[in-house]
Amino acid sequence: MWRSVLSEDDEEFSAEYIDNFAEAIIELAALLSDKHEEVLGCRCKELDIRWRLAAQVGEITEEEIDAFAGAIDQFASLYPERDKRILEYRREEVNAWRHFFAQEINSLPIEECIHPYSDAVDKFASLYSNKPKEILRYRLEEVEMWRRGLTEDQFLAEYNFEEFVEAIEKVAALLKDRHQETLERPRIDAGMCRSLLIVDDDEPSAEYIDNFGRAIDEVVALLPDKDEKILEYRRMMVEMWRIVLTQDDDELCTGNSICNFSSAIDEVAALLPEKSEEILEYRRVEANLWRKIADIKGDKDCLGMFAITIDEIASLLPQGSEENLKYRREALDTWRRLATDHSFEKFAKVFAEALDMVASSLPQGNYEEVMGYRREEVDIWRRVTQHDREIEEHRDITPPHNSHFAPALRKFSLSLSALGEHEQALGAVEESVSVYRSLVQEDPWEYNQDLAEALRTHAHALARLGRADEATQVNEEAFRIEDMLE
C-alpha cells in the first residue's frame, strides 16, 4: 500500500510517508529475511523515493540527507561491497551533501556543512578506490569548501584549520607529486589561512607560526628552485615572526622564537642580493629582540646572540663606514663584557675575532688605535694557546689555536711598524714565523703559503732596521717556499 501511494505520478508525498514505508519494510524483513528478494526490492524503492524527494524540494534538509544516507547504509549491508547500485547511491549521497554545503555555508559553522560531505566521500573512496580521478575531484572540492569557509572571518578556528590541512593531505596522497600545479593552490591557501589565524587571534602563539612555516615549506617544495613566489612565501614567514615577537608580551619573546625568526631571515637572505636593505632592517629588529631578552633574563648566551646579530648587521654595511664601525664597536664591547675571567674560555675566540674586525674597519691613519686592538688580540691568543699547552702538557702536539695566534702576531707587527716601533715589530713577526713553522710541520700544504707571507713581513722588518743581508736571506727562503708550492 505504501509503495503504491509513493509511486503515484503527482509525487505529492512527504518524508513521513517514506518513513512509514521504511518501517513497513523492516517488519516485512522480520518475517522473511534481510536478503529476501522482495525486501531488497523494497529497499531499492525506498532509496529512489528518498532521493527523489530530496532532489525535488527547494531546500534539502540535513535530516532528509541523513535518512537517505541511513537507507544506503542498510542497503549496502545486504549487498556485495562493489554492487553498482551502491556506487550510484554513494555518489548521490556525496552530491546531496555538496548541495547542502552550498545552501547552508552562510548560516552554519563550516564543520557542520563539510563533515558530512567528507564522511560521504570517505565511504565512496573506501569502496571504489579504482576511481581515483573521481575521488580526487571530491577531495579537491572538500579543500575548496574549507578554503572558502576559512577565509570568512567569523569561521576562523584553529581546529578548522587543522581539518583543512588534513583535507589537503588527502589530496596530496592522491596526487603523489604528479600534479604539482593542482596541489600548489591548496598548499598556498593553507599558508594564507594560517596567516589569517595568526593576525586575527588575540593571543597568537609560536606554535601557530610553526604550523604556518610547515605549510610554507610544503608550498616551496612544490615550486621550481628559482620561482619568484618562493621569496614571497619566505617573506610571509619572516613577517609572521616579526608580528608575534614585536608585541608587548615578554612570554612570546623567547630565545627559541628569536632563533626561528633569525632562521626565517636566513631563508629570505639566501634569495636576495648580498647586503640587501630588507635584510638589514630585519636584522636590526632581531638585534633589538636579543638585547631585550638579554636585559630581561640576564642570559649571557642571549647577549652573545645579540653580538653575533650586530656583527651580521655590520657585515651588511659598507666596510669602513661610520655605521659599520659603530656596530663593530658595539659587538666588541659586548664580547668584552662576556669574556670575563669565569667565561673567558667560552668567549675568547669571538672576542679576539671582534678585535680583529674593529681593527680592520678603522680608517687609514688610526695607527695607535689599530695597534691597541692588535696588541689586545695577541694577548688573548697567547692566553688561549697557553691554556692549550696546559691541557696537552703530556702530548707533543701544536696548540690548536696557533692557527689564530700566528696571523694575529703578524698583523700586530705591521701595526707596530706603521708607528715606527721597528724593534717591537721585528720581535712580533719573529714569533709569528716561529709559530707558523710549528704549524707547517703538522700540515705543510695548509700553512706553507702563510709562512712565506710571514717571512716577507720578517724581511721588511729587518730591512727597516738596516739588516739588509739578513733580510735578503729571509726573502730567499720565502721565494723557495713559493716555488715549491707552484
Reported as a single tens digit per residue, the pLDDT across 348-394 is 999 999 999 999 999 888 999 999 999 999 999 999 988 877 776 64
Q: Are residues 372 and 485 in the same domain?
A: yes
Task: Tell me what percent of the residues of the chain surpass a pLDDT of 90.
Answer: 34
Give CA–CA dist 39/52, Å, rounded: 20
Q: Is 39 a member of any domain? A: yes
Q: Are residues 369 and 382 in the same domain?
A: yes
Q: Is 257 a member of any domain? A: no
pLDDT at 187 over 80: no
Rg of the chain over Cα atoms, rounded to whole angstroms, equals: 38
Q: Which domain holds residue 355?
A: 273-361
Give CA–CA dist 316/98, Å, rounded: 55
pLDDT at 256: 85
pLDDT at 158 over 70: no
Q: Write down which residue in 66, 99, 124 finishes a domain.
A: 124
pLDDT at 471: 93
pLDDT at 65: 74
Q: Are residues 138 and 231 in the same domain?
A: yes
Give CA–CA dist 85/386, Å, rounded: 87
What φ, ψ does residue 415 adopt, rounded to 5°? Answer: -70, -35
Place 43 in a pLDDT band, splitting at 50, 70 and 90.
low
Q: Is 483 exposed, middle or buried (0-12, 13-18, 19+ CB in 10 A)?
A: exposed
Rounded to 5°, angle at Cα 462 from 461 and 468: 140
pLDDT at 199: 46
Closest CA to 193 of 148, 230, 235: 148
Q: Write down which residue in 361, 382, 405 finishes a domain.
A: 361
Q: Are residues 347 and 368 in the same domain?
A: no
Most confident residue range from 91-105, 239-253, 413-427: 413-427
pLDDT at 31 over 70: no
Cell of 52: 527523489
The model's pLDDT over 438-448, given as tens digits with 9 standing for 90+, comes to 999 988 889 99
Whether the pTM exceeds 0.75: the reply is no
Q: Is 383 a member of any domain? A: yes
Q: Is 266 a member of any domain? A: no
Lowest mean pLDDT among 83-97, 228-242, 466-480: 83-97
pLDDT at 94 over 90: no
Closest CA to 426 of 463, 481, 377, 380: 463
Q: Is 296 exposed, middle or buried (0-12, 13-18, 19+ CB in 10 A)?
A: exposed
Q: Are residues 458 and 371 in the same domain?
A: yes
Q: Write down which residue in 361, 386, 421 finishes a domain.
A: 361
pLDDT at 374: 96
Report the number of distinct structural domains present in the chain.
4
Q: Are residues 116 and 6 in the same domain?
A: yes
Higher pLDDT, 265 or 183: 265
